[in-house]
Structure 1
Amino acid sequence: MRASLSPLLLIALLGDALSAEPPALLENSLGMKFVRIPAGEFVMGSAEPPEQLAKAYPQYEPERFTQLGDEGPPHRVRITKPFYLGQHEVTVGQFRRFLAASGHVPESIADGTGGYGYNPAYDPAMSKRGDAFEGRDPKYSWQNPGFAQTDQHPVLNVTWNDAVALAAWLSKTEGRTYRLPTEAEWEYACRAGTRTRYASGDDPQSLLRMANIFDADSKRNWPKWQQFALQGADGYAFTAPVGSFAPNPWGLYDMHGNAWEWVADWHGDDYYAKSPVDDPQGPADGSVRVRRGGSWHTWAFYARSSYRNWNSAATRYTLVGMRLLREAD
């Protein structure tokens, strides 16, 4: 016969459970690790004047600095609840395990049009971008971005809809709420208490220790853009295995560079001017979804914490991946 616990002991045990610190790091069924991000406040966006940016990035054409209206006005944002954010970008191996377990068919395969890929033999004159990325083509997908990747590299060529499908499957499978971070949650976590251009400081060269972006390794494949490369090499001409660089102050890796990351929000040029203070969710509707953070192919200017870019939800591209959020209990 099992002995029963006294009421006083039950109260004591319950008190201990309620007062216990939540875990700082969680790991889920696909092997994704999540860092607990505290609630708090920060100033979102940027209003650096074009003249100041031109001095910081002298290799860029001045007109680039007059097209950043959607980064302002800077505004106070309060994240009212803690959350868990993926310590790393979702990897090829994790996405592979999701597909095997769920039966989900990535959009680039389901619609038969494929994705984009790097092809050094591609004629840049045939591309609106003037570079060596070609597509859509069925030979390119999350399994083949045109260069070699292992299961430890960030998955690419995934659509916003693919990212939402992964989050929905994890939520159903684990009984926890997974989703894409809002744009505000993403920038809050990326800045990690900083107010500089990058979590590593204002100097673009500071990214060499924290980010895989366009540098001396990458410029060998794009000599016409060599003026925009960081002065240094990180050993990766394309993607790097996740976690290959130093984390930001909150223990998150690759928030700058490696792969652009989908976030939940619709994009709105003027949304910052009317954004609520508490937990902004982005515009109620729109035509394109926001992506953040830059990629292995991104020039330093476009990897700033405040920089915003966007694509349609069905876009699949050789620079774009994802990072998931898990809501805290």
Structure 2
Amino acid sequence: MDFRRRFWIVSAALAVAGCAVPLAAPPPSAGAPAVQTNSLGMRFVRIPAGEFLMGSDEPAATLARDFPQLPPERFALLGDEGPVHKVRITHALWMGQHEVTVGQFRRFLERSGYVPESIADGTGGYGWRVDYDPAKTARGDAFEGRDPRYAWNNPGFAQGDDHPVVNVTWNDAQALAAWLSRTEGRRYRLPTEAEWEYACRAGSRTRYSTGNDPASLRGSANVFDQSTAAYWPRWKAMALPADDGFAFTAPVGSGAPNAWGLYDMHGNAWEWVADWYGEDYYARSPVDDPQGPADGSVRVRRGGSWHTWPFYARASYRNWNAPDTRYTLVGIRLVREDGP
């Protein structure tokens, strides 16, 4: 299968149809969000049912104008973000307020006996090369792997227990959700792609929940900024013109939350979602609670990471990996289904 992204223009008829029905995304609460904490110390925010417009149909010319640092061909590869279509999330759910942390994942392993894939298959994960010198290496990757030296507890850079766990596979996320479901008697799972974007947007219709300008991410998103660019000087032009003090991952919740009380929906770690990836899925997606294609070869990840250029941290941007991928940029956010 060719997963290369092809740009195509959404027809006026589809755009009108997608906007004809009034949306019912709930407004942000005037008070603090309802929060529950589980047995691993994960905090979950109640996300109400509602409707929203999913995806993006921004013309390539508009994106090229607003992101002049990127080569023009980049904007011809975003066809899978459209057509913009109405989605109805029919049931309230509890979304992880934060990405799963290193400490929470460690407690899961200790209590369950589960062995992460990077260790179980003996091939390891990916890691930051501590000997990488951008001044001496004009080309080449600062990450290396798969290598048994690297795993969830060693991505090659220092992390505390309050940082998002990375180097975890989609299958690891499934194991975590299944164990929590068994031990707590409540169903845990990865969010669907639609649930994820609904929660990320939190009632907004802009590129980011903070607005259209990448500069609006300051103070709320750990993306590729001046701290990180110090390690990749040749990409400095792509960096957010801000410095959050974190060259790699940051403690979860270091910035401001979105309107629904969720942190790090943009940046810090890419987040696995439940869906198989389908380039043309939006054109046939059902309105109510879309679950993604019935099958596929790669799973979707959303949100961007500490190493992501702001353009790719947009709420509508889609990316993917094989379910057994373990990488220094990819982590987990869980959903707990509604209940007492």
With normalisation by structure 2, the TM-score equals: 0.88
* Secondary structure in structure 1 of the residue aligned to 2:218: helix
Instruction: Tell me if 1:101 matches 2:89.
Output: no
What residue number does 1:293 align with? 303
Aligned 8 A contact 2:130 2:156 in 1: no
Counterpart CA distance in 2 for 1:232 and 1:273 is 37
Match of 1:58, SS state, is coil
**In 2, Cα distance between the equivalents of 1:122 and 1:312?**
27
* CA distance, structure 2, for counterparts of residue 233 and residue 267 of structure 1: 33
Distance in 2, matches of 1:140 and 1:63, equals: 34
Q: Deviations over 1:80-122 (max 9, x none)?
A: 0000000000000000000000000000000000000000424
Q: Which amino acid in structure 1 is aligned with residue 174 of structure 2? A: V
Q: Structure 1 residue 314 and structure 2 residue 324: aligned? A: yes
State the SS of the aligned residue for 2:200: helix
Match of 1:48 among 58, 62, 73: 58
* Structure 1: gaps of 5 or more residues: 1-22
Residue 163 of structure 1 corresponds to which residue in structure 2? Answer: 173
2:129 counterpart of 1:144:
no
Match of 2:19 in 1: none
Instruction: After TM superposition, give the deviation of residue 254 of structure 1 in Å.
Output: 0.1
Q: Shift in Å at residue 24 of structure 1? A: 1.4
Aligned position for 1:189: 199
The structure that has the greater radius of gyration is 1
How many angstroms apart in 2 are the aligned matches of 1:191 and 1:98?
A: 30
In 2: Cα distance, 1:120 partner to 1:207 partner: 28
Report if aligned partners of 1:122, 1:134 keep a CA contact under 8 Å in 2.
no
Q: Does 1:267 align with 2:277?
A: yes
1:195-251 deviations in whole A, cap 9, x for unaligned? Answer: 000000000011111100000000000011111001110110000000000000000
The answer for the alignment partner of 2:101 in structure 1 is 91
Q: CA deviation at 1:130?
A: 3.5
Shift of 1:131: 2.4
Q: Name segments (4+ residues, structure 1) moved above 6 Å.
A: none
For 1:219 and 1:73, locate their aligned partners in 2 and report how far apart those are by CA, in whole Å: 34
CA distance in 2, matches of 1:189, 1:199: 10
- Alpha-carbon deviations, 1:287-328, whole Å to 9, x = none? 000000000000000000000000000000000000000000
Look up the match of 1:279: 289
TM-score, with length taken from structure 1? 0.91
Q: How many Å separate the matches in 2 of 1:172 and 1:130?
A: 44
